[in-house]
Structure 1
């Protein structure tokens, strides 16, 4: 069977993570995606590693290879009139345009929904932007670090209460971009349903800052309920909620409910110190965490991760092993589910990639093609599908349009 979104045709003008991840999610579910890249340069993600053998190559970037499966690549300079005209021709044949061109660049090249609608009145256009299209931050440029901070997460990350001298920290990789991409994909699918119902497209704008702020869990409630400002600094209101080191790795401890704590004390063999008045309940344990933590660390350091996890599991205490990438690759569970998939790419070779975190009973998720080389499909898309002659393509190449 064809993929769930096999009828959708998408044009992506995206770099790095947010827009490419958005369209990748749709492409892996069957949508046809044409990725527009800058001539000679391509998506900036092509410059980011890891690279096989640590040898930089724009065709072998691990980040690019992962984010662009199931897409075709064309090169097009949309800042030039002839290039933008060709973009309009691509959009006229599509259902959806996904991009993360910043608002100042949108203004400069004329990438507006009104103009795109003239090429395709039913178009859905998804704009994934650092701060959205309105507000005082509209024109700000931002990398992942900036948006992660602006979204309110960095203040929760860092060295923790024990190291107040350390600054706030972002998480590894491009997490803000992935969150923007997920929100963009969800909104785009919803708009596609509305398009089927109403026969009309619409413009979707995704603020990556707001995507981050919307996943802050309980932090908004800290002040009205506990008169606390959520931060990585200061005392936690409940304990133990901590990652600690075992003999062979790390484990996350969470036993803030009294029955969970009592069961953990039993696992530890009912040490005498656990009956001390300063550890009598969860609030007092949090107040005296500086005394409790070393005792727990000493005991946990003598355990193995899997043994402690299983003992806690049997007692219904919610501990969790902290998996490394190697642990995930070797996971028997993930192997049984076929999560990692091998993909052969003509330049990068064959490697394992994260696969689908979901299963379709009838319309499969699948990798139909590896990430494209730069401009791999120029002749196919511009020549065969848009009807441009070889002579015209050669002319456009000489002008730097493609």
Structure 2
């Protein structure tokens, strides 16, 4: 583990899938000591979901698991045994944080709910992640696509009536809020406060990501026809085909005249031209798009970007990279935004680097744990001897 800004913070993670593990990863990558508690022989559900492109689909090794579970130690423990429950209580008693995204009520049924844990450890920060929180949908399963749908987020994606993002935006954003909320609660405790519960839901997260669209919807008098597409406010603001690929372009009126001069279309900047003002460009968006693609089709994306970089002032444009192109992009490399990792089974793979970067206490990405790979080490650090460990094994607390 690193000596990052959260060094010295002890976290007990009881979570699976994406949102909870991602929160734990963020804390661990920043130096927190994270112990991931999993069911023996089963583990995190993501371990059991190999994708077609995983080189090895057994033993709980998948690229998804490796990505969302870096910088953790692995403890496999059957919490339905008295011995397993006692061990977990021992961990939590000295922990700073419990992070869980188990089904609603599961922690209470295990005797590990918030009210019980705060008595055991009054300074504990108890972060609980659920799909919906309390209310009529509390017991419904929650996955990313469903949350994008119910939150209204899907209605604001794409040019059609609705769409979803293939990136697990609800899961990862919820994990980000969970990590942020945990750090906030730790700061509150450090400045004179007490331990507290931090509730984070996927639904709340995605509603918050609607941002200005909520206010604009209430201010728009055409509710049924409301267009939240940010491109509806400015034109051009889109992707355009070039001679070899695509280019992303965003131009407010401030950039328009410079852009027109750079592409040798000065007449388009005349206020009396159909493209001369933002309002008139919006009224002719489809025609403008076709005309711009005719221009961009005369050169490659790289050539256009070089042209814009040489212009007399900035022009907001960027390549539209696939993943391999993004990794090779000189700006991404300059930022060291992607790590190249080696795994004995899954081989060489890419992982996003830590964000943000700290000048004095930088974070670092540690390894993801094998299922139960650190169980005996953790128990010994807690004071369990050889006989205690064997008795626990015999009682079915772990394999």
TM-score (norm: length of structure 1)? 0.88
In the TM superposition, what are the counterparts of 1:240-255 in structure 2 within 5 Å? 240-255=236-251
Does the C-alpha gap of structure 1 residues 235 and 242 become closer, same or farther in structure 2, counting only changes over 3 Å?
closer
Cα RMSD, aligned residues only:
2.7
Cα contact 1:155–1:231 (8 A) shared by 2: no
Match of 2:282? Answer: 286
- Shift, 1:349, TM fit: 3.7
Larger mean CA deviation between 336-345 and 272-281 belongs to 272-281
CA distance in 1, matches of 2:128, 2:53: 32
What corresponds to 2:331 in structure 1? 333
Correspondent of 2:364 among 359, 363, 366: 366
1:125-144 equivalences under 5 Å are 125-132=126-133, 134-144=134-144
After superposition, the C-alpha distances for 1:46-92 in whole angstroms (9 at most, x for unaligned) are: 23455766432344311111111110011123345543333222111
Q: Following superposition of structure 1 onto structure 2, how do residues 140-159 of structure 1 map, counting pairs within 5 Å?
A: 140-158=140-158
CA distance in 2, matches of 1:277, 1:151: 41
User: Which residue does the alignment assign to 2:85?
Assistant: 84
Bigger mean CA offset, 90-99 vs 46-55: 46-55
Q: For each residue in 1:218-274, what CA deviation from the matched residue of structure 2 results, as whole angstroms up to 9, or x when unmatched?
A: 3123234443555478993432211122223222121132x4222222233127677
Contact 1:36/1:73 (CA < 8 Å) preserved in 2?
yes
Q: Please list, as runs of the form range in 1=range in 2, the aligned pairs for 1:197-208 lying within 5 A after superposition.
A: 197-198=191-192, 200-208=194-202
On the 8 A contact 1:345/1:370 being kept in 2, the answer is no
Within the candidate set 370, 376, 380, 1:379 is matched to: 376
User: Does the 8 A contact of 1:48 with 1:62 survive in 2?
Assistant: no
Counting only pairs closer than 5 Å after superposition, residues 101-250 of structure 1 correspond to structure 2 as 101-132=102-133, 134-158=134-158, 160=159, 164=160, 168-198=162-192, 200-229=194-223, 230-231=226-227, 236-250=232-246
- Give the whole-Å Cα distance in 2 for the aligned partners of 1:392 and 1:76: 14
**Which ranges in structure 2 are unaligned for 5 or more consecutive residues?**
none
C-alpha distance in 2 between matches for 1:34 and 1:108: 21
* Of 181-190 and 97-106, the range deviating more from structure 2: 97-106
How far apart, in 2, do the equivalents of 1:360 and 1:260 lie?
A: 34
Is the CA contact 1:10–1:98 (under 8 Å) kept in the aligned structure 2? yes
Question: Counterpart of 2:252 in 1: which secondary structure?
Answer: coil
Q: Is the 8 Å Cα contact of residues 343 and 370 (structure 1) preserved in structure 2?
A: no
- What is residue 323 of structure 1 aligned with on the other side? 321
Asked if 2 retains the 8 angstrom alpha-carbon contact of 1:38 and 1:76, the reply is yes
Q: Please list the CA deviations of residues 270-324 of structure 1 after superposition, one character each: whole Å capped at 9, or x if unmatched.
A: 2767767543421222122232222222222333222223433434222222222
Tell me, in whole angstroms, the C-alpha distance in 1 between the residues paired with 2:126 and 2:230: 44
What corresponds to 2:256 in structure 1? 261
Question: Runs of 5+ in structure 1 lacking a partner?
Answer: none
Measure how far apart 1:123 and its partner are: 0.8
Question: For the residues of structure 2 that align with 1:273 and 1:226, how far apart are their CA atoms?
Answer: 30
* Residues in 1 aligned to 2:257 and 2:268: alpha-carbon distance in whole angstroms: 13
Tell me the number of residue pairs that the alignment of Structure 1 and Structure 2 aligns: 392
Q: Kindly provide the CA deviation profile for residues 342-373 of structure 1, in whole angstroms up to 9, marking residues without a partner as x.
A: 33444334433221233222212123x31111
| Aligned partners of 2:56 and 2:346 also within 8 Å | no
Q: Is 1:94 aligned with 2:95?
A: yes
> Residue in 2 aligned with 1:11?
12
Query: What SS does the corresponding residue of 1:86 show, helix, strand or coil?
Result: helix
